[in-house]
Amino acid sequence: MAIQHSWKYTRTVFDHEGFLKATRNLFQVVSQKPFQSKKNPEDKGTMLTLLITHDDMNYGVDKNGRKRENNILNTFDVTILNGKTELPFKKGDKVSLAGFIPEKSYVIGFDLILRFSDIRKAGN
């Protein structure tokens, strides 16, 4: 018999260090909204949509021999769990992420749930 509920012991991890290095940890704010976890009400902060402005990673070629595109101009969502439901950033501001929280971040299929403890204006 196979192990039941193996999902409880399985975890796919996100290489946040590689991602931040490849993107130079430089993003542009697209939007923000308050966040509060339904499962853990003490997890409170702000969810942001960020635009990727740099991507130094080489993703190789696809099965047809074409070079794979990078992530420049793609967006992703990130949650800053710092207890603040509004951050002092506006659309277009350049920001950097800090304090990755691996125990609250998940990879489910191709979906990323990324949690950080801090965000700051880029260059500071």
How confident is the model over 20-71, as pLDDT tens digits? 999 999 999 999 999 999 998 899 999 999 999 999 999 999 999 999 999 9
Q: Which residue ranges make up each domain of the chain?
A: 12-57+65-121
Q: What is the pLDDT of residue 22?
A: 96
89-115 burial, b at 16+ Cβ within 10 Å, e below that, comes to beeeeebbbeebeeebbeeeeeeeebb
Q: What is the pLDDT of residue 110?
A: 85
CA 29 to chain centre: 13
Pairwise CA distance, residues 57 & 52, whole Å: 12
* Residue pair 14/105 in contact by the 8 Å Cβ criterion: yes
* Residue from 30, 49, 26 nearest 114 by CA: 49
CATH C-level class of 12-57+65-121: mainly beta
Strands 115-121 and 75-80: parallel
Q: What is the pLDDT of residue 1?
A: 61
Element (H, E) at 77: strand 75-80
